Structure 1
Amino acid sequence: MDLTPATSEKNGKPMSVGQQMLDKGAQMLQTFKPINQMSQHACTFALYSHDMTRQIKTHHIVTRVNQDFLQSAVYDSDDSNARLIGVEYMVSDTIFETLPPEEQKLWHSHAYEVKSGLWVHPRMPETMVMPELKNLAKTYGKFWCTWQTDRGDKLPLGPPSLMMSPQAATYGVVKPEMVRERDESYNLSRDDLMRSRIEIPEPEWINPTADYWRQHKKGFQLDVERTEIKTSFP
């Protein structure tokens, strides 16, 4: 058992030997069933709803709960010391159509993201992930970013930020240099990916209430305000 104190470039002191022993014991004695259900790693891009000039590369560690619902822990890299920066929920078009219109405004579509070669499963052959890509093209996502590492935050600060998916429209176009850096890191070609995904069917209907900014040029931003605490006390 390696008990060499771990070092970190992040905030905080290196892990002590005692903490590492506790963690090793927990790994042997406890179960991690929710984490063990994570079965996919996807890399893509996201834009802040309130400031679409800010774009980030994201790494999604995905759990497929069932055929109509997925949930992702979102990280800023795929390194062992990656920072957990948010969570995304993804639902099929069937489920999305049951949501109230006010709720639908918070969601984004995935069809363009998939077909344009922005959403990738690193190190996985396209032929192997093609069935999943066809499913994902018909889904909608709601992504809350809890840690704005792109602006240099050393800790998760402030309220969560709603994120949007890339689109072909002006505000939603991902910066070419970001895509190029991603492709080089995984030995990919977005152009090749787009050609391989031509046969993925376009969804028959992409609900216009999603991707709210495209029609209304408005985004959403959370603010924290003080409020009276609800209690059962007289």
Structure 2
Amino acid sequence: MSTRSLFSPRRTARAPLLCLAALAMAGCAGNNSASKVDAPGAPTTAMTKTLDAGANALQSRPPINELNAYLDGFHFYNGHPGAQMEAHHYCAILNEEVIQCVIYDGNVKDAKLMGVEYIISARLFAQLPKAEKALWHSHVHEVKSGQLIAPGIPAPAEHALMDKLVNTYGKTWHTWHTDLDKQLPLGVPQLMMGFTGDGQVDPALVSERDKRFGIDSAEKKQQRADIPTPQIDPGADAWSKGQIIQIQDPTGSRHAH
């Protein structure tokens, strides 16, 4: 397994390009994926709108302002690979080895916050205890298959970003299960996973996403053939080895797909 940082010496020269990619993603390729949920509640009043506008003008939001990178991919419930959904990631690059993302069910103004994902380098992942590794998934197939995309940035910049992400691992928790809960977030957080092989993701899900963004995942797969395929740490993707981890839901088994 590679224990290099996110940028190997070969990749270091690409760092400026990736910085530009992150900046470009801040304002590109949005507003084409509607939320799947209609939350209940009274319409926003004029007073609330005024307060919101005032807060927007006067308050600073340093953590939110750092959410520069936009990634789109697919998740499934750990232990239930047939229960799949698209996930829109808005990410902050903390340093060369740690990225943190908030995940929504769309990329429109009223998109619902589904959860979070933490992304770390192979070097940091290698240092985790065995039990902790079981909570994380690899990104090799997501990158190499073309499933994971960075909408709105030039192809060379996206390719360089994927060259970075292929050597990472993610830990993802969804707190609003928008495939089931169409009004409010119910139950407990669920551990999510990423796909590890061909034939796992619902092709209709990918096709619909590709059409919406005007891309071809199969074409991206071919374009990424030159990205080296790293060895995956055997501690990751524990679901594929029969180890299923989820928090017991005291509200019942409604999220056991």
TM-score range, shorter chain: 0.7 to 0.9
Alpha-carbon shift at residue 208 of structure 1 (Å): 1.0
Q: What does residue 61 of structure 2 align with?
A: 32
Tell me, what secondary structure is at the counterpart of 2:232?
A: coil
Q: What does residue 51 of structure 1 align with?
A: 80
Q: Paired residues, what number?
A: 214
Q: What does residue 146 of structure 1 align with?
A: 175
Q: Which runs of 5+ in 1 are unaligned?
A: 1-7, 226-234
Aligned counterpart in structure 1 of residue 203 of structure 2, from 176, 180, 184? 176
CA distance in 1, matches of 2:134, 2:244: 9
**Superimposed CA distance per residue, residues 16-45 of structure 1 (whole angstroms, 9 cap, x where no aligned partner):** 111111111111111010011111111100
Q: What does residue 208 of structure 1 align with?
A: 234
Q: Is the 8 A contact 1:147 1:153 kept in 2?
A: no
RMSD (Å), alpha carbons = 1.4
**Superimposed CA distance per residue, residues 172-227 of structure 1 (whole angstroms, 9 cap, x where no aligned partner):** x1000001000100110111101110011111x31111000212x232110256xx
Residue 218 (structure 1) aligned with residue 243 (structure 2): yes
Aligned counterpart in structure 2 of residue 21 of structure 1, from 45, 50, 53? 50
Residue 98 (structure 1) aligned with residue 122 (structure 2): no
CA distance in 1, matches of 2:137, 2:99: 14
CA distance in 2, matches of 1:142, 1:9: 27
Q: Which runs of 5+ in 2 are unaligned?
A: 1-36, 251-257
Alpha-carbon shift at residue 167 of structure 1 (Å): 1.6
Larger Rg: 1
Corresponding letter in the other structure for 1:210: A
CA distance in 1, matches of 2:161, 2:108: 24
Q: Is the 8 A contact 1:169 1:214 kept in 2?
A: no
Q: Is the 8 A contact 1:147 1:156 kept in 2?
A: yes
Tell me, what secondary structure is at the counterpart of 1:150?
A: coil
Q: What does residue 15 of structure 2 align with?
A: none
Residue 83 (structure 1) aligned with residue 109 (structure 2): no
Q: What does residue 139 of structure 2 align with?
A: 110
**Change beyond 3 A, Cα 1:132–1:176:** same
**Change beyond 3 A, Cα 1:224–1:183:** closer
Runs of 4+ in 1 over 6 A off after TM superposition: none
**Change beyond 3 A, Cα 1:161–1:74:** same
Q: Is the 8 A contact 1:62 1:71 kept in 2?
A: yes
Among all aligned residue pairs of Structure 1 and Structure 2, give the percentage whose two residues are the same amino acid: 36
Tell me, what secondary structure is at the counterpart of 1:22?
A: helix
CA distance in 1, matches of 2:82, 2:168: 24
Q: What does residue 185 of structure 1 align with?
A: 212
Tell me, what secondary structure is at the counterpart of 2:179?
A: helix
**Superimposed CA distance per residue, residues 69-110 of structure 1 (whole angstroms, 9 cap, x where no aligned partner):** 000000001111100000000000011011111000000000
Aligned counterpart in structure 1 of residue 184 of structure 2, from 155, 167, 173? 155
TM-score of the aligned structures, taking structure 1 as reference length: 0.88
